[in-house]
Chains A and B, each alone.
Chain A
Amino acid sequence: MICAAVLAAGLGVRMHRRDLPKQFLPLGGKPIIIHTLEQFYAHPRVGRVLVVAPETWKPYTEDLLAGYDSMGKEILVISGGSNKSESIGVAVECIEARWGIGERDILIAHDAIRPFVTRRIIDDNIDAAEAHGAANTAMRTNDAILVSEDGLRLSDVPDHSRMHAEQTPQTYNLRALKEALSWAAENGRALRGESELPRLFVQSGHEMRLVRGEHFNMKIINPYDLEVANALLRERGGT
């Protein structure tokens, strides 16, 4: 079974809209999260969909989802996780508790605020996770990366040719992910940062393949992003 986890636990601080988390803001004719979910609803290889929402917004998320067609997919809203890595951990616990984890089961975790994910990206993620155990979506960076320890002075300039910007989905064989999470717990490693999970996964001895993303698979995190996303969808009509 391939399960999608749409990660919607953010509260939209950078969007300056504390009254409504960014994943619920309208984009074109629907909330952002609905556009994102529809890409997974419509994917024939995805069997069920989990939405990881903030605890306080769980009832709202359930009400919102009930108003849209889930195209026959089984969908469940759960709460938890203060960052992406923790949310994935919460999704794993939920899957194990409810349905158990089979040897070939896959979890494809995606940011709710990346509604422009494509069928090809999802397919490549699933294919890579099935063949190699895990996949992460990335693009080569156009800009050089500068490292600064204090935000004031340049500390390092990593080799640009090795730098990739992380997008989502992140996709895992669930058994391998469970092993990696156990390894992290045994070694006192917490899922502190957004990208901590891929790091721990690789450090625990597992392989993670990179899948090419798209520049337009953007994350809508601030008002400018939302304006760009709306501009991308501006054109309507057709046959």
Chain B
Amino acid sequence: MINRVYRLVDTKRIEPVMREIRDDEGDVLVRPEHMSICAADRRYYFGRRKQEILKKKLPMALIHEATGTVLHDRAGRYAPGAKVVLVPLVEKEKMPFVKGNYNPANPFLSSGHDGFMRDAVAAPHERLVPIGESASVAYVFTEIVSVALNAIGAFERARATEASVLGVWGDGGMGYVTALTLKCLYPEAKIFVFGKTARKLQKFSFADGTFFIDDIPRDTKIDHGFECAGGAGSEAAIAQIAERVAPQGLILLFGVSEDPVAIPTRTVLEKGLTLIGNSRSDADDFASAARLIRENAVCGKYLRMLISETIEVKTEDDIAYAFEQDALNDFKTVIKWAI
């Protein structure tokens, strides 16, 4: 089947290329329906990656957060019209003791391989998560919830101390989802959010406390910290978490920084802290995330509030508009894919 793939060919320039979907490419043909723009997509779109990275990875279709509608399933497991979440991790290889999302041999769509900005995606069953016919648009955030769950899984495996007060640094989309997921999984714990923008922090109404990073009360302490600041802000966030966290606490790192950031090793050593890197998620995390959205009323309800704007995309110009608007939005821009 002829398929158009809408690729970023250069900074702020998206062009369609025709590609034939072959019969051996996947069992299920899925039409992407809703997409969500991630900070990583934005960095590629606006050329905020290093030149050598852009040269290596472009042209490439963006977007790794998407839901879709099944058009056809050769194996007959999905009826036409079934709603699914698309999983961007292609688990080609298994490494003993290593999660699929950390295996460098496994491609990740929209990072060196075409993401979901296509007419249709051919995928095997294991890269689809069913979400039911009347699925809410909140499922477009399944990927970002799965990233939080991947990190929380690592947190649970490493945790040696109590988890009564959990701090999240970062008042953007990742911070919101991480804080919300923690709230759903640890309802007894206090969830504190640390950010720098008042209007963004206001949206964390489910949190037990929000703080400006330049005005944190002296006695505010946490058991463990989740760094979702990213960029240049990672360094200050890690330093603040190290300062506020209890001995033998964990610091979960989510934020991507283009340049190396300093770590306050004296504090890390003195307190016996553990820093855990987190990136992406695997198909099991996706299934758990979809379950959480479906079964946890708090999660589903507050996830919908993460949408800053929904933009219908019918042309390449609309794609450009969506990215331009996304740069202005505090939280997530959702694309209704109608191209």
Residue ranges of A at the interface with B (Cβ–Cβ < 8 Å): 28-30, 35, 38-39, 41-44, 69, 71-72, 115-116, 118-120, 123-124, 216, 232-233, 235-236, 238-239
Q: Which of B13-21, B142-150, B190-198, B206-214 contacts A (4 or more CB under 8 A)?
A: B13-21
Task: State which of B18, B23, B71 has its C-beta within 8 Å of the C-beta of A44.
Answer: B71
Is A239's CB under 8 angstroms from B90's CB? yes
- Whether A238 contacts B113 by the Cβ 8 Å rule is yes
Bound together, the chains give a CA A119 to CA B31 distance in angstroms of: 10
User: B20 contacts A29, CB within 8 Å?
Assistant: yes
By the criterion CB–CB under 8 Å, are A235 and B17 in contact?
yes
* Cβ-neighbour of B338 out of A71, A120, A236 (below 8 A): A120
Q: Does B285 contact A (CB under 8 A)?
A: no
By CB atoms of chain B within 10 A, which of A38, A43, A72, A238 has the most?
A: A238
Can you list 21 A-B pairs, Cβ within 8 angstroms, ordered by A? A29-B22, A35-B20, A42-B29, A43-B71, A44-B69, A69-B72, A69-B74, A116-B2, A118-B4, A119-B31, A119-B339, A120-B315, A216-B16, A216-B18, A232-B18, A233-B20, A235-B17, A235-B19, A236-B22, A238-B19, A239-B114
Contacts of A232 in B (CB 8 A): 17-18
CA distance A44 to B72 in the complex (A): 9
In the bound complex, do residue A116 and residue B18 qualify as a contact, i.e. CB atoms below 8 Å apart? yes
CB pair B339–A118 under 8 Å, yes or no, is yes
- Contact B314 A120, beta carbon cutoff 8 Å: yes
Nearest Cβ in chain A — how far from B266, in angstroms? 44
Q: Is the CB of A39 within 8 A of B19?
A: no
Return chain A residues, CB-CB under 8 Å to B18: 116, 216, 232-233, 235
Chain B residues within an 8 Å CB radius of A124: 314
Judged by a CB distance under 8 angstroms, whether B120 is at the interface is yes
**Are the C-beta atoms of B19 and A233 separated by less than 8 Å?**
yes
B81 within 8 A of partner (CB): yes
Of B2, B17, B109, B314, the residue contacting A38 (CB under 8 A) is: B2
By a CB distance below 8 angstroms, the chain A residues around B23 are: 69
Give bound CA distance, A232 to B16, whole Å.
Answer: 10
Give the docked Cα–Cα distance between A236 and B24 (Å): 13
- Verify if B107 is at the interface (C-beta below 8 Å from A): yes
B308-339 Cβ-contact flags toward A at 8 Å (1 or 0) = 00000011000000000000000000000011
Which residues of chain B have C-beta atoms less than 8 A from A35's C-beta?
Answer: 1-2, 20
Q: Say how far A65's CB is from chain B's closest CB, in angstroms.
A: 15
Please determine whether A71 and B2 come into contact, CB atoms closer than 8 angstroms.
no
Beyond A41-B72, A232-B18, A238-B19, whether A115 also contacts B2 by CB under 8 A is yes
Tell me how far the C-beta of B22 lies from the nearest C-beta in chain A, rounded to whole angstroms: 7
Query: Which residues from B are CB-within-8-Å of A43?
Result: 71
Distance of A236 Cα from B18 Cα, bound (Å): 9
Task: Tell me how far the C-beta of A33 lies from the nearest C-beta in chain B, rounded to whole angstroms.
Answer: 12
Q: Say how far B323's CB is from chain A's closest CB, in angstroms.
A: 19
Asked if B1 and A119 make an inter-chain contact with CB atoms under 8 angstroms apart, the answer reads: no
Q: Given that A119-B31, A120-B339 are known contacts, is A28 also in contact with B113, CB under 8 Å in the complex? A: no
Supposing A69-B74, A118-B119, A239-B90 touch, asked if A42 and B1 sit within 8 A by C-beta, the answer is yes
In the complex, what's the smallest C-beta–C-beta distance from B128 to chain A, in angstroms? 15
B80 close to A (CB within 8 Å): yes
Q: Which residue of the partner chain A has the closest CB to B123? A: A239
Set A39, A71, A216, A239: member contacting B72, Cβ < 8 A: A71
A29 and B339 CA atoms in complex are apart in Å by 24
Residues of A near B29 (CB, < 8 A) are 42, 71
The answer to whether B20 touches A239, judged by C-beta atoms less than 8 angstroms apart, is no
A120 to B107, CA, bound (A): 29
**Minimum Cβ distance to chain B for residue A231 (Å):** 9
CB proximity of A181 to chain B, nearest CB, Å: 32
Interface string of B58-89 (1 = CB under 8 A from A): 00000000000101101000001100000000
B339 and A42 form a contact (CB under 8 A): no
| Set of chain B residues within 8 Å of A233, measured between Cβ atoms | 2, 18-20
Judge whether B71 and A42 touch: CB under 8 Å.
yes
Report how far A42 CA is from B1 CA in the complex, Å.
9
**Which chain A residue has the least Cβ–Cβ distance from B109?**
A239
A239–B2 CB distance below 8 A:
no
Other A-B pairs, 11, CB within 8 Å; known A43-B71, A216-B16, A238-B113: A42-B72, A42-B120, A72-B72, A120-B339, A232-B18, A233-B2, A233-B18, A235-B17, A235-B19, A236-B19, A239-B113
A216 to B23 CA separation, bound complex (whole angstroms): 24
Neighbour of B81 across the interface among A44, A120, A216, A235, CB < 8 A: A44
Listed from nearest, the 3 A-B pairs whose CB atoms lie closest are: A71-B72, A38-B1, A232-B18
Contact A71-B71, Cβ < 8 Å, known A118-B119, A120-B314, A238-B113: yes
> Nearest B residue to A71 by beta-carbon distance?
B72
Least distance between A213 CB and chain B CB atoms (Å): 12
Residues in A with CB closer than 8 Å to B4 are 118
How many whole Å from A236's CB to the nearest CB in chain B?
A: 7
Which B153-206 residues have a C-beta within 8 angstroms of A?
none
B221 to chain A, nearest CB (A): 46
Question: In the complex, A69 Cα to B74 Cα: how many Å?
Answer: 9
